[in-house]
Structure 1
Amino acid sequence: MNKSFDKLPSTGVLRQAQDERQRIGSVHGEPVEPSPERSRRVHSKPTYSDGFPSHFDKCRGNNVSFIFNLFCGAAGNRMGRIVLVVLALVLPGLPSMAADTPDDAASNEESTHEVPRAPVILDGNTLFLLRGASAFPAERRAAEVAARIAALAANPAFDPSTLKISASPDVTLITAGKERVIAVFDADAVLESVDRGILAQVYRQRILEAIAAYRQDRTPDALIRHVLYIAAASIAFAVFIWLARRAKGRLDAILERRLRARIEGLASQSYQIVRAKHLWGFLQGASRFMWIALAALGGLFYLEFVLINLPWTRLIGSRLFDLLIDPLRVMGIGLAKAIPDLIFLAVLAVVTRFVIKALRIFFTGVADGAIRLEHFEADWSWPTYRLLRLFIIAFAIVVAFPYIPGSSSDAFKGVSLFLGVVFSLGSSSVIANIIAGYTMTYRRAYKLGDRIQIGEHMGDVTEVRQLVTHIRTPKNEEIVVPNSLILNSSVVNYSTLARQGQLVLHTTVGIGYETPWRQVEAMLLEAASRTPGVQTEPPPFVLQQALGDFCVNYEINVYCDDAQAMNRLYTALHQNILDVFNEYGVQIMTPNYESDPSEAKLVPRDQWYLAPAKPAGAQGKAE
């Protein structure tokens, strides 16, 4: 057996088998004479005759490797290489032939997933994948290899049979004459889990097939055939567009004939809640969208077919459909992965909405008086509800944030940070007004319908919002006051004590020193008693405010229970004061003067109703 093995042809594969035979023989104690070539490589890794590193370095002592090499040698060089390629791709995965430890296999698998690779593409066809390095990225390496292969294929003087493989201990080169096409390293073989020499043979075969296809696609017969295909596709696409337009026209006619009248009838029956114009426009828009989508899809298929049939644009054509489908595919995959999170968000939204509805029902009862809480005003119900609703929504957002698809991405975090900065910079005054509004509410400074005065503005509170308060003046002017301004200003509320009949209205008159003060007080009290709307309990009272240079200032104070009637009560009180003082002949010393006039400045009773004034009785008869 040994003699027959030694007499086999000295090919590259058989030389490796001889080396393996000598190694195995030495292990079993057989005296085997090493070959001269073997002795030259005693201090280096075993290689094939053409420099490939031995695929069986890790299989020392394994008789299966010897049988395998023996079979390859007996089958001849070409057949041996084919069998070697097939078995080398299969055997590394078998547990019985795997010499690597589990840790090594795991590290190899991990490196396969972690190392980025790029495809070598020629005429839109991927030949193989190449890895890269930090200083030489995979994309750049693949592009340069593809450019060299394309240059060889485009060179009519290049003979593919001259594509050779040369090996060294560190690298295997595929060359075309003196030009290097690709260098195969041990790291490339590790990623593919095959021997470096076998991987180089696979690369060479792929390159030969790609060059042959490249030249075949550019022959005159092939180009004429592809041009005919494109012409036929153009005619088919034109017919398709024509048929689609006719179908759209017929569809519009059917919609016009069968649905237009029904839509108008539906609009009249719904009292124009559903407008016929809008519904009809929606149907027409749907028909137009279907036509555009169908035409765009047909045009996409047509353009892809044209580009693929031209070898110069085949790469663009092969990627054209993916450019549109890949975003949809990515979104679909992302949606499928996010389904559990979306279910959680849906459940959280339902629970949050239920809690908010329950709170709304509760505080509605508080506002209506059906539910009474001790030391809790009914006016506080809606502000409290809004605060609790805000807290519940904020808590729900905090809980839901980790489950929002894409929330952990840097883009989402960046946008969130940007919005937070913008909100914090632009909402300082808004937040101040909101806080001021709630502060004024819980301070019970006023409520809807109260007559208040803020600064120089006086009127009735018509609406209290989170940011502003609306006031309507007696002149029917709408004034919008920011809540922060109200918080920093004095608020006079006339309605708080008016509801208890304790609001005091007061006015001042100046009377000369010659008039007894008791008479003046009696006249002022009589004028107050004549004024309708003035409370008798507590009774009106008079205060002497000052002893002026020319007169004594008397102030009449009356109680009322209607703050909205203040202006009317003041007018009636002033009218009665003038009447009473005229009746008793007492002169009101306003404006101030330096000397008494020759005649008292009084209005005689018979001149009270000079034209155009009419007595009260005569005015009633005229009406």
Structure 2
Amino acid sequence: MKSRVKVPFQVLAFLVSVLNLLLPAHAQSGGNPRTSPPATLEFWNRELVTFRATLAGLTPEERLDTTLKNLRDLPEFSPYQPIIHHPIEAGSLRGVAFEIDGHRLFVLVPADLDPTTGRTLEQEAELVHDQLESLRQAWLAQRSPQVLLRGVLIAILSTAVFAGVLILLRKLGKWLKRLFVQRAIRLRQLKRAHLDLRPVLLILVRRLVGLIVAFLGFSATYLWITEILSLFPFTAPWSIVLGNQLVLLFGSLAMKTVGALPSILVVIVLFFLTRGTVRIVDQMLASFEATEEEGQFLGKDTARATRRIAGLAIWIAGLIIAYPYIPGSDSPAFKGIGVLLGLMMSVGSSGFVNQLMSGFVVLYSGAVRSGEYVRINDLEGTVIDIGLLSTKLLTPKREYITVPNAVIISKETHNYSRIEGESTDRCEYATSVTIGYDAPWRQIHQLLLNAATHTPGIRHSPAPRVFQTALSDYYVEYELRFVPAEPSRKGLILSDLHQRIQDQFSTAGVQIMSPHFVSQPADPVLPLPWPPKSPETAAPASDDTCQPDSTSEVQPSSSLNETHSSDPDV
């Protein structure tokens, strides 16, 4: 053994002497023998040693290539011999040489040490020797038929167990889903009026069970791969790396969870405080929504909208307060998502803000209220609901129309149900007819007033009135104005009134026609005396003659309600 080592040692001493002669010149030129990056020797998936020094003119990378060549060029039976290491000295050079079966592998010098570890050259040499010996034992085990056969058998058994675990997890997932579905169906508390939260709960439970089963399946797969890799010496280091990564992952998660517990506790406390505040404000505003009295602070529609606005504002304030305590809120990813959402809202919320501000104006100005009959632009109907973004109308044709609040603000709105002051100050409806000059105007007045008097749904106080709005070339235009008992029944009342006007004119023998002439008539077209048998009545009639005698309000009959519901075009 000594004769074998002697020749390479003499060669090494010669190289060191040459290196000593070159070092001063190298130093004078400003060079640094350790300027090259370190190179780590990896063989058979194992890290053995790291070269950091330039030795005999060889950089760490070149030393690494030389060592790998020495390992690959070893004779076939050399690994059956133990690894030996011994110190060497040549002039000022001191190091440790590693050999196997008389073949030099590499030399470790003090400049190769990592200063952060604080280990000496002897300690580092022992550590490298253990790594090399472990590599040698793994190489021998990999060539052992007994080790390979044992690994294959255990791998087959582990695979069978793994398959059984996957089947069991699948059945467990199905059983848990059925169990939670049965439990959720029995939860009657989740069904309130028209809101049933049970389907939503079922979807959440199924997704949660699926995630749990997938996590368990992934964990089983990870452990199975780790176990399979650990059975063979060549892949054993990979198994160690996977195991260490799993331990580091769970350890990091556990440490972060423990560290985040105080912040999570603060977030939970703030959540319950915010929810309690929302409930208190909601109960206070619900009292205004339940009862609507004259002169109360908030109306029904305003109280409903204020509840939503106040609840949203309180939740936003709670989120702002709790934001710094949310785990991960200070991470770059969390901040990036916040900036992206803010940019999206600022770019695409201009129309939304316009509608929202218009909703505030409609709600708090009291221009319209629920249950009132209004006309907005060309739309007429009863107000069903007033929201922050839109108002819902139900037209006489039973059409459900959504009107944006911005339209209500920008267009004129006619409110036929609003009472200002006394009950006699109500909105009037009108209908008109054109009759020739040969018909006595007093008779036309009386026929129109009789038709209005006998029409259900028209108030007698204030009484209907007739106006002659135009004296055209061939006819006179008469306009009948009246106050409806229910403005929302406008179409039905007008239809009924038109029927009675036709009946009155037909009974009196007066044609509802607008005459036209192509030439001058032979005789003047003059009205007949009215009444025909009383010349005294030729004098202008008093106002009392044209007004109906009854001052009571006519209520709509049940037959009219049926006609209204059966005729959608009225």
Q: In the alignment, which residue of structure 2 is the partner of 1:550?
A: 474
- Structure 1 residues 204 and 467 mapped into 2: Cα distance closer, same or farther (>3 Å)? same
Letter of the structure 1 residue corresponding to residue 364 of structure 2: Y
TM-score normalized by the length of structure 2: 0.66
Letter of the structure 2 residue corresponding to residue 454 of structure 1: I
1:431 corresponds to 2:353 = yes
Task: Give the SS at the match of 1:495.
Answer: coil
1:82-139 CA-to-partner distances (Å, cap 9, x unmatched) read xxxxxxxxxxxxxxxxxxxxxxxxxxxxxxxxxxx9998665666689999xxxxxxx
Determine which of 399, 408, 419 is the counterpart of 1:486: 408
- Structure 1 residues 243 and 310 mapped into 2: Cα distance closer, same or farther (>3 Å)? closer
Q: Do the aligned residues in 1 keep the contact of 2:381 with 2:396 (CA within 8 Å)?
A: yes
1:184 corresponds to 2:111 = yes
1:533 corresponds to 2:454 = no
Report the alpha carbon displacement of residue 313 of structure 1 after superposing the two structures with TM. Answer: 2.3
Report the alpha carbon displacement of residue 152 of structure 1 after superposing the two structures with TM. Answer: 5.0
Rounded Cα–Cα distance in structure 1 between residues aligned with 2:164 and 2:183: 33
Q: Do the aligned residues in 2 keep the contact of 1:153 with 1:211 (CA within 8 Å)?
A: no
Report the alpha carbon displacement of residue 241 of structure 1 after superposing the two structures with TM. Answer: 5.1
Letter of the structure 1 residue corresponding to residue 451 of structure 2: A
Report the alpha carbon displacement of residue 400 of structure 1 after superposing the two structures with TM. Answer: 0.9
Letter of the structure 1 residue corresponding to residue 348 of structure 2: G
Q: Do the aligned residues in 2 keep the contact of 1:513 with 1:551 (CA within 8 Å)?
A: yes
Task: Give the SS at the match of 2:483.
Answer: strand
Q: Do the aligned residues in 2 keep the contact of 1:512 with 1:552 (CA within 8 Å)?
A: yes
Task: Give the SS at the match of 2:111.
Answer: strand
Rounded Cα–Cα distance in structure 2 between residues aligned with 1:215 and 1:367: 85
TM-score normalized by the length of structure 1: 0.61
Q: In the alignment, which residue of structure 2 is the partner of 1:473?
A: 395
1:454 corresponds to 2:376 = yes
More displaced 10-residue stretch of structure 1: 227-236 or 210-219: 227-236
Report the alpha carbon displacement of residue 398 of structure 1 after superposing the two structures with TM. Answer: 0.9
Q: In the alignment, which residue of structure 1 is the partner of 2:256?
A: 334
Rounded Cα–Cα distance in structure 1 between residues aligned with 2:252 and 2:39: 20
- Structure 1 residues 296 and 408 mapped into 2: Cα distance closer, same or farther (>3 Å)? closer
More displaced 10-residue stretch of structure 1: 508-517 or 210-219: 508-517
Rounded Cα–Cα distance in structure 2 between residues aligned with 1:560 and 1:469: 25
Q: In the alignment, which residue of structure 2 is the partner of 1:419?
A: 341
Q: Do the aligned residues in 2 keep the contact of 1:304 with 1:317 (CA within 8 Å)?
A: yes
Q: Do the aligned residues in 1 keep the contact of 2:430 with 2:480 (CA within 8 Å)?
A: yes
1:172-219 CA-to-partner distances (Å, cap 9, x unmatched) read 877777977677379x42x33x4xxx6333333322222222222212
Rounded Cα–Cα distance in structure 2 between residues aligned with 1:560 and 1:388: 39
- Structure 1 residues 352 and 298 mapped into 2: Cα distance closer, same or farther (>3 Å)? closer
Determine which of 375, 386, 391 is the counterpart of 2:313: 391
Q: In the alignment, which residue of structure 2 is the partner of 1:510?
A: 434
- Structure 1 residues 305 and 572 mapped into 2: Cα distance closer, same or farther (>3 Å)? closer
| Higher normalized helix content (fraction of residues) | 1
Q: Do the aligned residues in 1 keep the contact of 2:162 with 2:224 (CA within 8 Å)?
A: no
- Structure 1 residues 221 and 471 mapped into 2: Cα distance closer, same or farther (>3 Å)? closer
Q: In the alignment, which residue of structure 2 is the partner of 1:48?
A: none
Rounded Cα–Cα distance in structure 1 between residues aligned with 2:46 and 2:168: 39
Report the alpha carbon displacement of residue 355 of structure 1 after superposing the two structures with TM. Answer: 0.8
Aligned residues: 459
Q: In the alignment, which residue of structure 2 is the partner of 1:156?
A: 74
- Structure 1 residues 175 and 167 mapped into 2: Cα distance closer, same or farther (>3 Å)? farther
Report the alpha carbon displacement of residue 233 of structure 1 after superposing the two structures with TM. Answer: 1.3
Letter of the structure 2 residue corresponding to residue 331 of structure 1: L
Task: Give the SS at the match of 1:459.
Answer: strand
Stretches of structure 2 that go unaligned for 5 or more consecutive residues are 1-37, 54-58, 99-103, 192-196, 527-558, 560-570
- Structure 1 residues 568 and 592 mapped into 2: Cα distance closer, same or farther (>3 Å)? farther
- Structure 1 residues 566 and 468 mapped into 2: Cα distance closer, same or farther (>3 Å)? same
1:207 corresponds to 2:128 = yes
1:487-536 CA-to-partner distances (Å, cap 9, x unmatched) read 22222222224994612011122233344444433333333222222222
Task: Give the SS at the match of 2:252.
Answer: helix
Letter of the structure 1 residue corresponding to residue 413 of structure 2: V
Report the alpha carbon displacement of residue 359 of structure 1 after superposing the two structures with TM. Answer: 1.2
Rounded Cα–Cα distance in structure 1 between residues aligned with 2:415 and 2:139: 95
Rounded Cα–Cα distance in structure 2 between residues aligned with 1:146 and 1:578: 114
Letter of the structure 1 residue corresponding to residue 74 of structure 2: P
Letter of the structure 2 residue corresponding to residue 156 of structure 1: L
RMSD over aligned Cα atoms: 5.0
Rounded Cα–Cα distance in structure 1 between residues aligned with 2:515 and 2:96: 119
1:555-594 CA-to-partner distances (Å, cap 9, x unmatched) read 1111123112211221222223333334444443437554
Rounded Cα–Cα distance in structure 1 between residues aligned with 2:139 and 2:451: 117
Task: Give the SS at the match of 1:338.
Answer: helix
Task: Give the SS at the match of 1:353.
Answer: helix
Q: Do the aligned residues in 1 keep the contact of 2:451 with 2:501 (CA within 8 Å)?
A: yes
1:442 corresponds to 2:364 = yes
1:363 corresponds to 2:285 = yes
Identity across the alignment (%): 24
Rounded Cα–Cα distance in structure 2 between residues aligned with 1:477 and 1:370: 27
Letter of the structure 2 residue corresponding to residue 402 of structure 1: P
Letter of the structure 1 residue corresponding to residue 363 of structure 2: T
Q: Do the aligned residues in 1 keep the contact of 2:432 with 2:477 (CA within 8 Å)?
A: yes
Rounded Cα–Cα distance in structure 1 between residues aligned with 2:124 and 2:66: 14
Determine which of 299, 309, 318 is the counterpart of 2:240: 318
Rounded Cα–Cα distance in structure 2 between residues aligned with 1:269 and 1:383: 31
Rounded Cα–Cα distance in structure 2 between residues aligned with 1:242 and 1:178: 46
Rounded Cα–Cα distance in structure 2 between residues aligned with 1:143 and 1:400: 54
Q: Do the aligned residues in 1 keep the contact of 2:289 with 2:303 (CA within 8 Å)?
A: yes
Stretches of structure 1 that go unaligned for 5 or more consecutive residues are 1-116, 133-140, 601-618
Q: Do the aligned residues in 2 keep the contact of 1:149 with 1:211 (CA within 8 Å)?
A: no
Task: Give the SS at the match of 2:375.
Answer: strand
Q: In the alignment, which residue of structure 1 is the partner of 2:329?
A: 407
Determine which of 477, 495, 499 is the counterpart of 1:575: 499
Q: Do the aligned residues in 2 keep the contact of 1:173 with 1:184 (CA within 8 Å)?
A: no
Task: Give the SS at the match of 1:219.
Answer: helix
Rounded Cα–Cα distance in structure 2 between residues aligned with 1:376 and 1:591: 57
Task: Give the SS at the match of 1:407.
Answer: coil
Q: In the alignment, which residue of structure 2 is the partner of 1:136?
A: none
Task: Give the SS at the match of 2:458.
Answer: coil
Q: In the alignment, which residue of structure 1 is the partner of 2:158?
A: 237
Letter of the structure 2 residue corresponding to residue 334 of structure 1: K
Letter of the structure 1 residue corresponding to residue 227 of structure 2: F
- Structure 1 residues 495 and 551 mapped into 2: Cα distance closer, same or farther (>3 Å)? same
Q: Do the aligned residues in 2 keep the contact of 1:123 with 1:314 (CA within 8 Å)?
A: no
Rounded Cα–Cα distance in structure 1 between residues aligned with 2:438 and 2:52: 117
Rounded Cα–Cα distance in structure 1 between residues aligned with 2:51 and 2:294: 78
Task: With a CA cutoff of 8 Å and minimum separation of 6, indicate the structure with the bigger relative contact order.
Answer: 2
1:329-355 CA-to-partner distances (Å, cap 9, x unmatched) read 433322221111111111111011111
1:565 corresponds to 2:486 = no
Rounded Cα–Cα distance in structure 2 between residues aligned with 1:144 and 1:392: 68
1:19-45 CA-to-partner distances (Å, cap 9, x unmatched) read xxxxxxxxxxxxxxxxxxxxxxxxxxx
Task: Give the SS at the match of 1:417.
Answer: helix
